C-alpha cells in the first residue's frame, strides 16, 4: 500500500514537472514566436480587449460543453458530477500537452473515476473524440466544397463537371460517416470475428451502450463545441485587425481544423503547423500572414495552454491505484 502511494506520488510529480517544463520551453522561452508575441502585446497595448475577453469566456464555454459531453458518455459506466468532469477535462489537457496526438488525454480523464472499468472508460472517451472528429470532417468537407466553388482554378481548369463530381463525392463521404457513427454498435461483432480481439470480448458491449438518441445528443454537443471554437477564431482574426466576414472565417477555419485533425502532432509543436495551415487558407482572403499567425497563437494559448496550466492544480486528484 505504501509502495503504491509512493509510485502514485512519483507519477503525479512527473506529470507536473513535464507539463511545466514543456510549457516553459515551448511557450515562454521559445524565441521562434517572438515577432508573434510582440504583435499580440502591441495590440493589447492599444486597448483592444473586448474580443479577447469574449474569447476567454468562450474558452470556459468550450471546455464546459466538452465536460458535459464526457459526463454524459461515462454516465453509462459511472455517475460523475459536472465539476469532476470539468476537472477531468482540464487534467486530460495537462497530460496530453506533452504526448503525441494528445493520447495522454485518455489517462488524464479516466484516472479521475472512482469505480468504472478504465478500459471501458477509455473506449467511451474515444467514442466522444471520434464524434468530435466526425463533426470536424463534416464541416471541413462542406467548407472544402464551398471553397472549391469559390476558387475553382485550384482544382478544375476546363472541366465544367468537376464541381458536381466533388459534390457527389462529398455527399457520399458525409453519408458514410454519419451511417458509421449511428451504427457504432456493430463494432461489437468485430470482437468475435477477429481472433486477436477475442480476449477483449468483455469490452464489446461498450459499443452497444448508446442509442441513436444518445448519439444524436453527443453529436449535437460536438457541433455546439465546434461552433464555439470556430467563433473564437473569428473573434481573434478580428482582434488582429483582419477584415473578414463570418462566413469566410468559418470556411477557412473549417479547412484549417480539418487539416490539423489529420496531421500527427505533439500538442506543443502544434502551433507552427496550425499557423502554417491557417496562413495558407486565410491567405486567399488576407495577406497579413503575421496577423493570421498571431490569431492562431492566441487561440492555441487560450484554448490549450491556459487549460493545461489549470489542470496542473488538479493532478493530485488522479487515482492510479484503487
> Number of C-alpha atoms within 13 angstroms, CB side, residue 295?
30
What is the pLDDT, as a whole number, of residue 120?
86
What is the pLDDT, as a whole number, of residue 222?
96
| Residue for grid cell 471546455 | 63
Is the Cα torsion angle 195, 196, 200, 203 positive or negative in sign?
negative
As averages over each run of 10 residues, the pLDDT of the chain (322 residues) reads 74 82 74 72 74 92 95 92 93 82 76 83 88 91 81 55 71 85 74 62 76 92 95 92 88 88 58 71 82 86 89 82 65
CA distance readout (Å), 123 to 113, 118, 131 = 14, 9, 12
- Determine the Cα–Cα distance for residues 98 and 20; give it in Å rounded to an integer: 10
CA distance readout (Å), 31 to 35, 137, 298, 317 = 9, 34, 16, 34
- Determine the Cα–Cα distance for residues 125 and 106; give it in Å rounded to an integer: 7
**Does 59 fall in a domain?**
yes
| Residue for grid cell 496550466 | 309
- Determine the Cα–Cα distance for residues 292 and 43; give it in Å rounded to an integer: 13
Q: How many domains does the chain have?
A: 1
What is the pLDDT, as a whole number, of residue 171?
83
What is the pLDDT, as a whole number, of residue 264?
59
Domain boundaries, position 48: 2-317
> Number of C-alpha atoms within 13 angstroms, CB side, residue 45?
6
Q: What is the pTM of this model?
A: 0.86
**Does 322 fall in a domain?**
no
- Torsion-angle region of 241 (φ positive above 0: left; ψ -120 to 50: alpha; else: beta): left
Return the HEC string of the chain: CHHHHHHHHHHHHHHHHHHHHHHHHHHHCCHHHHHHHHHHHHHHHCCCCHHHHHHHHHHHHHHHHHHHHHHHHHCCCCCCCHHHHHHHHHHHHHHHCCCECCCHHHHHHHCCCCCCCHHHHHHHHHHHHHHHHHHHHHHHHHHHHHHHHHCHHHCCCCCCCHHHHHHHHHHHHHHHHHHHHHCHHHHHHHHHHCHHHHHHHHHHHHHHCCCHHHHHHHHHHHHHHHHHHHHHHHHHHHHCCCCCCHHHHHHHHHHHHHHHHCCCCEHHHHHHHHHHHHHHHHCCCCCCHHHHHHHHHHHHHHHHHHHHHHHHCCHHHCCCCC
Amino acid at each position: 500500500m505504501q509502495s503504491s502511494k509512493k509510485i502514485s506520488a512519483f507519477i503525479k510529480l512527473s506529470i507536473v514537472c513535464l507539463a511545466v517544463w514543456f510549457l516553459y520551453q515551448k511557450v515562454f522561452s521559445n524565441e521562434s514566436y517572438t515577432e508573434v508575441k510582440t504583435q499580440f502585446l502591441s495590440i493589447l497595448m492599444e486597448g483592444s480587449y473586448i474580443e479577447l475577453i469574449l474569447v476567454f469566456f468562450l474558452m470556459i464555454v468550450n471546455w464546459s460543453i466538452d465536460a458535459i459531453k464526457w459526463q454524459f458518455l461515462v454516465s453509462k459506466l459511472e455517475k460523475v458530477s459536472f465539476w469532476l468532469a470539468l476537472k477531468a477535462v482540464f487534467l486530460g489537457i495537462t497530460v496530453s500537452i506533452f504526448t503525441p496526438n494528445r493520447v495522454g488525454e485518455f489517462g488524464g480523464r479516466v484516472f479521475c473515476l472512482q469505480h468504472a472499468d478504465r478500459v471501458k472508460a477509455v473506449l467511451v472517451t474515444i467514442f466522444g473524440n471520434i464524434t468530435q472528429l466526425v463533426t470536424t470532417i463534416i464541416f471541413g468537407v462542406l467548407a472544402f466544397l464551398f471553397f472549391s466553388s469559390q476558387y475553382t482554378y485550384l482544382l478544375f481548369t476546363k472541366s465544367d463537371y468537376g464541381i458536381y463530381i466533388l459534390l457527389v463525392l462529398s455527399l457520399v463521404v458525409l453519408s458514410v460517416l454519419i451511417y458509421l457513427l449511428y451504427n457504432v454498435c456493430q463494432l461489437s461483432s468485430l470482437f468475435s470475428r477477429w481472433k486477436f480481439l477475442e480476449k477483449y470480448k468483455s469490452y464489446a458491449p461498450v459499443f452497444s451502450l448508446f442509442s441513436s438518441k444518445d448519439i444524436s445528443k453527443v453529436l449535437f454537443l460536438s457541433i455546439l463545441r465546434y461552433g464555439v471554437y470556430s467563433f473564437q477564431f473569428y473573434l481573434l482574426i478580428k482582434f488582429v485587425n483582419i477584415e473578414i466576414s463570418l462566413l469566410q472565417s468559418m470556411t477557412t477555419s473549417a479547412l484549417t481544423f480539418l487539416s490539423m485533425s489529420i496531421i500527427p502532432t505533439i500538442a506543443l509543436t502544434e502551433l507552427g503547423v496550425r499557423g502554417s495551415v491557417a496562413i495558407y487558407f486565410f491567405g486567399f482572403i488576407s495577406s497579413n500572414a503575421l496577423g493570421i499567425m498571431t490569431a492562431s497563437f492566441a487561440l492555441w494559448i487560450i484554448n490549450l495552454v491556459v487549460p493545461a496550466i489549470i489542470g496542473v492544480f488538479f493532478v493530485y486528484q488522479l487515482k492510479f491505484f484503487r
